[in-house]
A and B are shown apart, each in its own frame.
Chain A
């Protein structure tokens, strides 16, 4: 599903060049649950941004579902982000003045889903994160855990193949964090690919495979005994 080879990313600011990614190569199959870990400045967030089409690499190759990012226009990238990708951010990125319904509906506004079908899809997504009673509550009035569940519903509403989560538990207490990870795990169990960036080992161990980054390079890429770890966590 995702193939990257010798991926490079350089940021040039005035006369300084920063190499955020220095030749990263790996493949992610459909349905995998991946955690990307690493200390600050290791390049994990840059990697996630490129994988999720929010940014382009400056070198190497990236193929998503067999198609190279280099052959796609910005408009095509936006279309793939809308149709095939879902996003969960550390700081939720909800529009606080809008209701839960309106927030979850946002990706559908940019899709070709007919208005008549949107309501069903939004209600389904909100129900799947257990917030149906908050459907018409303003997002700003929800707790942190609830906000992140709304963000997950928003990520799910277009029925994407892959969900990118950038430190999804970073702003939550441990109990809420656990609930969020359980939701992501259940999405993975239903066949979705989940790619998670985190610096918390416990959170990372929900994944099948952990990719560790250091100084912009791949440090390790290991599958883990998932069931045992999760049982321990619970």
Chain B
């Protein structure tokens, strides 16, 4: 039988029972659209996270305490509850002397309840130097950032995120020159950041409190080490050269001769992007794998209906065999029917998925325009959707089709 005729015959059979075909397809439509939607959302989230990391500048080098994690990813030591005090002021001083580094900004951080009047919220706070604002592209929407003098004099000043400003002061009241309390220490608000949303490393910039490093170390945390040092590589040098210089300087400072015993971890933005990219890709795949369960359910639905169809059309199979159809002709016809069903389901699923992904994009950008959510509809998910739906047709259609092909013409013609 010519393939063209087989397609014509299969299409005719499917259009004859339109409602049944549509309902049978529904499982595949839901399965494929779920996979597409979750893959697209995963891609959008990945783009968002990566763009936020990129926004802090491509020439930044992040130094954290603790041994390097090697090839695989492991969370920083501080996240695991281990306090490592290896990064100190002498490291910052050494890096400031390094010609391949243009700026160095140490950072300490913690969590505490911030209070203004009757309003309060538990937030992340960071003790930073004045250099941190230009290095991390932190722009001030209202008021101003604190200066080197504020840090050196340990002045009780703070710059807060825009969402926190709204929570504590409402929309009507200006936060500037108001006094807030953080761990029972008073701070005068002198500036509000212009941009909220999630910042790099999962910090919610909208609810962040930035205070001078000296105050954070002495009064809030009672420590003399840093949680992170951010260094800005000079554009005149290759970033990997700067990285190697930092390694050299820190090993010298810490008296390390064996590289395996490093007590610090250096990551460039590219390293972080690669790690985050891997994490989000795995997460996206994981979501797609969960969604594909519904695709399997849809496929079983197709197999079930195809088995019913084969039984219902037993006499037709008998007749076709009587007039010359071979086992393969019959198998081909029913297999094409199931592939057409799943493929059509796949195409509709992709279209439906695109509509939902578009709706999510408009929804997020309407309610939270500052988040910067991007529309992502990766071509790979479309190709995957079409491929998977076609394969599902073969996988779930082969058993009913073989059953049809193997029917004995005499028994089939006698079937009532």
Contact = CB atoms under 8 A, between A and B. Distances in A.
Contacts of A115: 2, 4-5
Name, among B320, B322, B325, B326, the residue most crowded by chain A CB atoms within 10 Å (CB to CB): B322
Contacts of B413: 54, 89, 93
B260 interface: no
A106 B410 contact: no
Interface string B1-27: 110110001001000100000000000
B353 interface: no
A109 interface: yes
A115 B4 CA distance: 10
Contacts of B329: 110
A106 B12 CA distance: 13
A99 to B, nearest CB: 11
Interface stretch (A23-31, A35-43, A77-85, A184-192): A77-85
B315 interface: yes
**Which interface class (under 10, 10 to 19, 20 to 34, 35 or more) fits B?**
20 to 34
B324 A81 contact: yes
B322 A87 contact: yes
B409 A111 contact: no
A154 B323 contact: yes
Interface string A107-142: 101110001000000000000000000000000000
Contact of B324 (A49, A95, A111): A111
A146 B53 CA distance: 78
A5 interface: no
A230 interface: no
Contacts of A75: 326-327
Contacts of A49: 410
B9 A109 contact: yes
B324 A83 contact: yes
Contact of B321 (A78, A98, A109, A158): A78
A152 to B, nearest CB: 13
Name, among A78, A107, A111, the residue most crowded by chain B CB atoms within 10 Å (CB to CB): A78
A30 B1 CA distance: 29
Name, among A52, A83, A93, A109, the residue most crowded by chain B CB atoms within 10 Å (CB to CB): A109
A93 B326 contact: no
Interface string B382-416: 00000000000000000000000000011001000
Secondary structure of the B contact surface, majority rule? helix
B324 A78 contact: yes
B326 A106 contact: no
Nearest to B16: A97
A163 to B, nearest CB: 12
A106 B2 contact: no
A10 interface: no
B316 interface: yes
Contacts of A74: 326-327
Contacts of B322: 52, 54, 81, 87, 93
**Which interface class (under 10, 10 to 19, 20 to 34, 35 or more) fits A?**
20 to 34
Interface string B300-333: 0000000000000001101111111111010000
Given A74-B327, A106-B320, A55 B9 contact: no
Interface in A67-106: 74-75, 78-79, 81-83, 87, 89, 93, 95, 97-98, 102, 106
Contact of B316 (A52, A81, A82, A95): A95
Interface in A52-67: 52, 54-55
A115 B1 CA distance: 11
Contacts of B316: 95
Contact of A106 (B4, B16, B323, B327): B323
A82 B324 contact: yes
Given A75-B326, A115-B2, A110 B320 contact: yes
B404 to A, nearest CB: 15
A221 B316 CA distance: 35
Contact of A55 (B1, B326, B327, B410): B410
Contacts of A81: 322-324
Name, among B16, B316, B324, B413, the residue most crowded by chain A CB atoms within 10 Å (CB to CB): B324
B409 A54 contact: yes
Nearest to B319: A93
B413 to A, nearest CB: 7
A83 B327 CA distance: 17
Contacts of A98: 12
Pick the 5 closest A-B CB pairs, nearest first: A82-B324, A110-B324, A107-B323, A93-B319, A78-B326
Given A55-B410, A110-B320, 10 more contacts: A74-B326, A81-B324, A82-B324, A87-B322, A93-B315, A93-B322, A98-B12, A106-B319, A109-B9, A111-B324
9 contacts: A52-B322, A54-B410, A74-B326, A82-B324, A87-B322, A87-B323, A106-B320, A110-B325, A158-B324
